Amino acid sequence: MADDRQPVLRLRGVGRTYHDGNEDVRVLDGVDLDVHSGERLAITGQSGSGKSTLLHLAAGMDLPDSGTVELLGRHVNRLAEPERTRFRARHIGLVFQDYNLVESLSAAENIELVGWLTGTPVTADDIRQLARELGIADLLERRPDQLSGGQQQRVAIARALIHRPSLVLADEPTGSLDQASAEQVMQVLSESIRAHGCTLVLATHSDTAAARCDRRVRIAAGKLEAG
């Protein structure tokens, strides 16, 4: 049954081709996708299938060759770069496979950084509260190189959620973790998303991770198909 609600994220006819030497590689080809508020969507597919590309396009970090990307009703790919950056900062939270924490800053400073970038007031209490939810309250003063992979990813999740974005895009968030850590991280991510009322788009090749989501789609040969 079709959902009449306005989706948080809407992709229509999105195509993206990369040039690899003399060869053009069509990574996405006419992709249509709607993601609704509060939904947790898993995008699965083989390595190189275009999962990360789809997330980059959704975040406005990359632009499609064709089609449109609509976020909260705005055409992201029609925005100028500075506006697109501001829009992304305000409405999207990002979680990367390799955590991408700023190595020289403490965990607390990494989380607080987003408040500065988005212009959202972030207090020390906000950080402590979120850190407690994610089980990293005792680790806030540590630098990334003093944290395990799982702990770093929790800090990254806190950073993605601290400014209460509408949409969290997580690109293989458990890809660099052992199974036990991966399960813990997925549980934390999934519960936090629900608790904060966010929408999640998760790119993963892990069935376990995908199983924690409400819906699942698969990318193959540049097209989306039901998971």
Partner 1 sequence: MLARLSRAFVYRHPLQVLLALVGIAAGVAVVTGVALLRGALVESLDAVSAELVGARALVVRHPSGRLDVDEYARLARRAGAPDLVPVLRVPVRVGGQRLELVGVDPFSGIRALTGTDGAGLAAALYDTSGDAPPVVLSRSTLDLLDTEIGAVIEIDAPDTRLRVVAAIQGRPGLDRRLLMDISRAQAMLSERGWVSELLAPPEAEAWLRANLDDRLLLTTASSQRASARQLTAGMRANLTAMSLLALATGLFVVYSVLSFLMVQRRRTFGLLRALGMTHATLARMLLGEVVLIAVFGALAGLVAGSLLSDLLLRLIAAPVAEVYGQLPPATTRPSLWGYAAIWFAALAAAIAVTVPVLREALQIPPGRMVRSFVVQVLPLRKLLPLAAALVAAGMLWLVLDARLVAALGGLFLSLAGIMVMIPMIGFGLVRALAQRTPTTLPGRALRLLETARGRLSPALAALSLALALAIGMGMMILGFRAAVGDWVTRLLQADMYVSLESRELGPAQVERLAALDGVEVLSSVRRTRLADGTELTAYDLPARAWAGFELLEGDSGRARAMFDAGTGVLVSEPLARRRQLRAGDTIELLAPDGPARLPVVAVFRDYSSEQGFVAVSSALYRRWFGDPAVDSVGLYLAPGVPPDQIGRRLDGMQLGGHAQWFTPGGIRRESLAVFDRTFRISWALAFLVGMIALVALTSALLAQGLERSREHATLRALGLSPARLFGLLTVQAAGLTGAALVTALPLAVLIHYALSFLVQPRAFGWSLPAGLPPIEPVIWVVPVALVLGTLTGLYPAWRIGRRPIIEHLRAGR
Residues that bind partner 1 (CB under 8 A): 56, 59, 61-62, 81-82, 85-86, 88-90, 94, 96, 98, 100-105, 109, 113-114, 116-118, 143, 145, 159
User: Which is nearer to partner 1, 134 or 160 (by Cβ)?
Assistant: 160
Nearer to partner 1, 152 or 212 (CB): 152
Nearer to partner 1, 31 or 212 (CB): 31
Nearer to partner 1, 36 or 122 (CB): 122
Q: Toward partner 1, which CB reaches closer, 62 or 183? A: 62
DSSP secondary structure string, the chain?
----SPPSEEEEEEEEEEEETTEEEEEEEEEEEEE-TT-EEEEE--TTSSHHHHHHHHHTSS--SEEEEEETTEEGGGS-HHHHHHHHHHHEEEE-TT----TTS-HHHHHHHHHHHHT----HHHHHHHHHHHT-GGGTTS-GGGS-HHHHHHHHHHHHHTT--SEEEEESTTTTS-HHHHHHHHHHHHHHHHHHT-EEEEE-S-HHHHHTSSEEEEEETTEEEE-
Q: Which is nearer to partner 1, 83 or 214 (CB)?
A: 83
Least Cβ distance, residue 86 to partner 1 (angstroms):
7
Q: Are strands 223-226 and 215-220 parallel, antiparallel or unpaired?
A: antiparallel
How many angstroms separate the CA atoms of 211 and 221, rounded? 23
Compute the least distance from the CB of residue 118 to partner 1, in Å.
6
CB of 54 to partner 1, least distance (A): 12
Structure tokens given for 54: 């789809």
Least CB distance to partner 1 at residue 152 (A): 13
CB of 97 to partner 1, least distance (A): 8
Rounded to a whole number of angstroms, the minimum distance from the CB of residue 195 to partner 1 is: 21
